[in-house]
Amino acid sequence: QVLVLYFARSAELAGLRCETLSVPREITSLQLWEEIVKVHPRLAIIRDQVVFAVRQEYVLLGDQLLVLQPGDEVAIIPPISGG
């Protein structure tokens, strides 16, 4: 189980700021994103703009294999607009 944190637009789309999800211990970052989108399909619209952080380190969506520990934090960080 990992703690998923949602920020800004991702929190709006998911309808919450954090939750605990059960995911495989070894999973690629793209598979992890797909697992989260299964729970919150509305997040799919920000896929190409989202940044992932696992244990406070940025991760690109792709084939990178993640080895998750129980309680790890996964942050979903959409693009921040501003000026």
Dihedral angle sign, alpha carbons of residues 43, 48, 50, 56: positive
The pLDDT score that the predictor gives to residue 40 is: 97
Domains of the chain by range and CATH? 2-77 (3.10.20.30)
Q: What is the pTM assigned to this prediction?
A: 0.90
Tracing tokens 């294999």 back to the chain, one arrives at: 65
pLDDT at 7 (0 to 100): 93
Mean local confidence (pLDDT), 65-72 = 95
Query: What phi and psi values does residue 79 have, to the nearest 5 degrees?
Result: -60, 140
What pLDDT score was predicted for residue 78?
Answer: 79
* pLDDT tens per residue across span 13-58: 999 999 999 999 999 999 999 999 999 999 999 998 888 899 999 9
| 39 exposure class (CB count in 10 Å sphere: 0-12, 13-18, 19+) | exposed
Copy the structure tokens of residue 59.
């991760």
pLDDT tier at 80, thresholds 50, 70, 90: low
